[in-house]
């Protein structure tokens, strides 16, 4: 399964999670946790698309970091 990159908006400094603009971002894959087992990554669903998120979203929402390249 190869992740796909979403068509970025006008700038890759726009957070695709919260919509903040002009902030540094990093590529991530969104993780949807299971309500029955929120800490079990095996029960989670990992989105196949790569988004760019700001530091606040990375600190507060489940995700997998994507290494550049």
Give, for all 69 residues of the chain, the pLDDT tens digit.
555 555 444 446 899 999 999 999 999 999 999 999 888 988 999 999 999 999 999 999 999 999 876
Both tokens assigned to 12: 């890759």
Domain that holds residue 26: 4-65
Burial of residue 69 (CB within 10 Å: 0-12, 13-18, 19+) is: exposed
User: How many distinct structural domains can be found in the chain?
Assistant: 1
Residue 41 pLDDT: 84
């Amino acid at each position: 399964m190869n992740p796909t990159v979403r068509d970025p908006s006008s700038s890759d400094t726009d957070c695709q999670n919260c919509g903040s603009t002009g902030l540094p971002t990093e590529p991530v894959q969104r993780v949807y946790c299971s309500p029955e087992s929120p800490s079990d990554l095996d029960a989670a669903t990992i989105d196949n698309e790569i988004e760019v998120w700001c530091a606040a979203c990375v600190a507060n929402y489940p995700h997998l970091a994507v290494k550049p390249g």
